[in-house]
Amino acid sequence: MAQSVRMEREREWKRRHTRIGYALLGVVILAFALMFFGRATWITVPLGLVGVALLVSDVAKYRMRRSFLFESAAQKMLRWQLGYDIVNTSVLIIMVGGLLIFSQDNIYWAFAVVIWGIIAEVVSRRLNRALQARDPILRALELEEAR
C-alpha cells in the first residue's frame, strides 16, 4: 500500500516539476528574445516567481522522499540532492536575472547560463543514479518511464 502511494506521489511531483520547468524555459527564452529589443527588466519578476516555485517543488520532493526513506545513507543522499537543487536553481535564476538587469547583450553571460545548465544536468543525473542505487522505487519509476 505504501509503495503505491509513494509511486503516485512521485509521479505527481514529476508532472508538477516538469510543468514548472517548461514555464522556466519559456520565461528564459522570452527573456533572451526581449533582450535584443530593449530593456527587459520587467521579466525578472516572472523569472523570480518561477524560481521560487522550483525551490518550493524541490523542498516538497525532499520532504516526500524523506518520509519514505529510513536508511541513513539514503537520507544523506537526499540532503545532498536538496542542497544541490537549491544551489543550482538559485545560481541559474541569479545568472539569468543578472543578464536581464544589466541588459548589455553580453554573450558571455548567455554562454555561462548554457554551460551552467549542462554541468547542472550532468551532476543531477549522477546524484539521481546514486539515489536510485539505494531506492528500488525510484529505480522502478525510471524503468517505467523508459518504456
Domain ranges in the chain?
2-142
pLDDT of res. 106: 67
Helical H runs in 2-146?
Answer: 2-35, 44-68, 72-102, 107-134, 136-146
DSSP character for 43?
G
Grid cell of 43 as nine digits: 521579466
User: What's residue 21's pLDDT?
Assistant: 84
Residue 124 CB partners (closer than 8 Å, separation 6+): 84, 85, 88
Average pLDDT over residues 7-33: 84
Predicted confidence (pLDDT) per residue in 35-80, tens digit:
777 666 777 788 888 889 989 998 998 898 888 888 888 888 889 9
Q: Decide: 17 and 50 in contact? Cβ < 8 Å.
A: no
In 3D, which of 114, 110, 91, 111 has the Cα closest to residue 102? Answer: 110
CB-based contact 41:103 (threshold 8 Å): yes
Q: Per residue in 79-127, pLDDT tens?
A: 998 999 899 888 888 887 877 777 665 677 778 878 988 898 899 889 8
Task: Using the predicted structure, report yes or no on whether residue 33 has a pLDDT greater than 80.
Answer: no
pLDDT at 3: 77
pLDDT score recorded for residue 96: 78
How far apart (Å, rounded) are the C-alpha atoms in residues 73 and 84? 17
